[in-house]
Structure 1
Amino acid sequence: MIRLFAALAVLMLSVAAQAQPLPAGLDPQNTILLDTKDGRIVIKLRPDLAPQHAERIKLLAREKFYDNVPFHRVIEGFMAQTGDGQRGNGTGGSKYPDLPAEFSNVPYKRGIVGMARAGDPNSANSQFFIMFAENPGLNGKYTVVGEVVRGMDVVDKVKKGSPADNGRVTNPDKIVRMQVAADAK
């Protein structure tokens, strides 16, 4: 019974979020709609900064790769990481090859969406993170792929992980659905 109510709540949030128009000036082809149990996050992709990374995010969203994927690493005051559609624990990518870095001068501040990677700067693939706060230590070292333009209040509600375990989340919140705005129904 509880699962039924939870499913209905997610459905109602999704319907309410779909009824909201996009913020003015956004290109639906480069806008991502990320739905969670707490609401919708609208992300403006930046193909002007990172064309290959923006295309990868759109490709995977269209393949429903991100649907039901957990926010596996969430550090209070830093960032919420997701996008591991293979393993769900931060150790996987996608069936596509890693991407070369597309670094820019855009600073890492609240709402910026960056591509997660391993130690090799050219190892970003499918995982991304959303910044809770400014962190200049990331500037020029991680690819900026977009920015949250609506829904930071939703990002703030994502379940936080254990500081003692580098933000790993037990029973994490998930992306319910992620889609390109141009494809939204």
Structure 2
Amino acid sequence: MTKEQERARARRRHEEQQKTAKPPVSDSTRDKQVFGVILAVILVIAAVIVVPKLIGSSDTPAAASANPSATPTAGATPTSKGGLVAGQKLAAGCTAPPANQANPKQQSTVPPKAEAAGKTFVATVKTTCGTITMELDGTKAPQTVASFLNLAKTGYWAPSPCHRLTTEGIYVLQCGDPTGSGEGGPGYQFGIENAPADGKYPRGVLAMARMQDPNSNGGQFFITYKETQLPTEGGGYTIFGKVTKGLDIVDKIAAGGLVTAGQPTPVNPISILSVSVTEKKA
């Protein structure tokens, strides 16, 4: 083989090697590749940790207005386990609240509205701060009043704290969750009745708290201690009665303010001890 042939064969071998060889990686390129791998690992870990928090629980209710901290909404309200929490103190004439219920009585069927339709009832609510008397309107809100009768009869609220107070723009004391968490319910839900079209709730009104879903009324209710304007989006809030005696008790609790600014827990605690209901005869 001549030298010319050897050189030609060598060139062909070199060309074949060049076709399959990978280009060399510079130090800067290699550093970028390593950084990319590390970043990808961090993003995967972050997704595992953060995404569930962003999605949240399907049971967590949303507020019914642009101001969820003030709107009477059933759900997501921190409170005590019974007794006094830091910053709380008893108002004059009040006794210490009992422990909240761990496992409130549950039902699966909405009580029939016929039990209350066309009738008026008087509810006597004994609390740790005195007795509050209410008149329930079964003509305008038969389903709500039928539910109230049922929960009173079964002792659902005995005991339960008034776990939420609002003092800015919206003036309500919210009660009716035996767990005190703001997330408790009787096991059934129903829709809105007798909600004012203008969103105005006079002083002393008895109305239902609910979640964003208009069919989420249950066992939580609120009392307005000043005239209050509430949002009408979603259907508003059911008015089913009024306080006829003992509104001064609610005034006293409201005057005590909140444990911490922006938090819903009243400084002066109040709990329901028992509820009894009788039909009001004409």
- The TM-score with structure 2 as length reference comes to 0.50
Which sections of structure 1, spanning at least 5 residues, go unmatched?
1-8, 12-27
Contact 1:160–1:167 (CA<8 Å) still a contact in 2?
Answer: no
Greater relative contact order, per chain length (Cα 8 Å cut-off, separation 6+): 1
User: After alignment, is 107-116 or 97-106 more displaced?
Assistant: 97-106
Offset, 1:111: 0.4
Offset, 1:172: 3.0
Structure-2 residue corresponding to 1:130: 223
Q: Is structure 2 residue 131 aligned with structure 1 residue 40?
A: yes
Q: Is structure 2 residue 269 aligned with structure 1 residue 172?
A: yes
SS of the aligned residue for 1:90 comes to coil
SS of the aligned residue for 2:201 comes to coil
Match 1:89 to one of 174, 178, 181? 181
Alpha-carbon distance in 1 for matches of 2:260, 2:190:
29
Contact 2:205–2:243 (CA<8 Å) still a contact in 1?
Answer: yes
Contact 1:34–1:175 (CA<8 Å) still a contact in 2?
Answer: yes
Change (3 A) 1:42 1:83: same
Cα deviation code 1:74-113 (max 9, x no counterpart): 123601001012x222111112x21111133384011001
After superposition, where does 1:20-169 map in structure 2 within 5 Å?
30-76=121-167, 78-85=171-178, 87-95=179-187, 97-105=188-196, 107-138=200-231, 141-158=236-253, 160-162=257-259, 164-169=261-266
Offset, 1:166: 4.0
Offset, 1:138: 4.6
Alpha-carbon distance in 1 for matches of 2:141, 2:193:
5
Alpha-carbon distance in 2 for matches of 1:157, 1:55:
30
Structure-2 residue corresponding to 1:19: none
- The TM-score with structure 1 as length reference comes to 0.74
1:122 maps to amino acid:
N
SS of the aligned residue for 2:244 comes to strand
4+ runs of 1 displaced by more than 2 Å?
Answer: 103-107, 136-140, 157-166, 168-172
1:168 maps to amino acid:
T
Cα deviation code 1:19-75 (max 9, x no counterpart): xxxxxxxxx961111111221111101111110001101100111111110010012
Alpha-carbon distance in 2 for matches of 1:144, 1:163:
29
SS of the aligned residue for 1:167 comes to coil
Alpha-carbon distance in 1 for matches of 2:94, 2:266:
21
Alpha-carbon distance in 2 for matches of 1:181, 1:46:
12
User: After alignment, is 136-145 or 160-169 more displaced?
Assistant: 160-169
User: After alignment, is 147-156 or 162-171 more displaced?
Assistant: 162-171
Structure-2 residue corresponding to 1:18: none
